Amino acid sequence: MITVLFGPPGSGKGTQAKLLVEKTFLPQLSTGDMLRTAIGHETSLGKKAKIYMDKGALVPDEVVIELIRERIGARDCQKGFFLDGFPRTLAQAEALDVMLTGVGKNVGSAVLFQIDDSELVGRLSGRRTCLKCHSMYHINTNKPKKPGICDKCNSVLAQRDDDKAVVVQNRLKVYHEQTSPLIDYYKSQNKLVTINAALPSELVFKFLVQALGA
Ligand code: AMP
């Protein structure tokens, strides 16, 4: 089962991907997490990606396509995986189809997390992320047990630079301009599943599991 999860920043794809991993034991492939790890390790790829991410812009297609190409060849991906935040452009979606066709596989479903922009600004500005394991919290709606500390790995929580208000506006603009064309792309392939991402997380998960037969 190969599933694409896409939607605007803050729509809950990452949170739902983690729940799907716990249920199915298939891995979550998050290009955002891969890039943040590269930034944390100060690799040359990380240094290059940071320039784009800090502005809320997309990292060039060829960089993320190569990250995914390397990752999906791994053993733990053979039974399927959840793509969280990839593809984000039509060029990435087409490259993904070509690479999967080459190994006799294909995307099963593409889930759109649908939610109004007005909801997202509050969600993103209150979001806090674990610097180590990338678990996510919210200062009002999903507090950690100890303030500022990750429940799962005891590391420090921080606000992502790109969750700050001025960058969020640009990320939303980039989503509408560059990622929303994926809606028609997957609709035309009969793979689009639309989920109301404004619902509470437990309900979103319930509908997701039903829709995917996970
Ligand atoms: P995310 O954690 O998915 O919200 O991604 C954070 C940032 O990483 C995005 O705003 C982009 O700058 C970059 N990024 C993540 N995935 C991609 C992708 N598929 N294509 C281009 N840039 C990406």
Evaluate: CB of 7 within 6 angstroms of ligand 1.
no
pLDDT per position in the chain (214 positions), as tens? 999 999 999 999 999 999 999 999 999 999 999 999 999 999 999 999 999 999 999 999 999 999 999 999 999 999 999 999 999 999 999 999 999 999 999 999 999 999 999 889 888 889 999 989 989 999 998 999 999 999 999 999 999 888 888 889 999 999 999 999 999 999 999 999 999 999 999 999 999 999 998 8
**84 C-alpha to center of ligand 1: Å?**
10
Please tell me the CATH code under which domain 2-26+79-116+169-212 is placed. 3.40.50.300
Overall pTM > 0.85: yes
**59 C-alpha to center of ligand 1: Å?**
7
Which residues are known to be catalytic?
Answer: 13, 88, 127, 160, 171
Tokens matching residue 99? 């690479």
The domain locations on the chain are 2-26+79-116+169-212
Atom 10 (ligand 1): residue with closest C-alpha? 56
Evaluate: CB of 212 within 6 angstroms of ligand 1.
no
Mark residue 25 as left, alpha or beta (left: phi above 0; alpha: psi -120 to 50; beta: remaining).
left
Task: Return all residues near 20 (Cβ < 8 A) that are at least 6 apart.
Answer: 3, 26, 28, 82, 205, 208, 209, 212, 214
CA 146, distance to chain mean position in Å, is 26
Evaluate: CB of 3 within 6 angstroms of ligand 1.
no
Cα gap 61→159, rounded to integer Å: 26
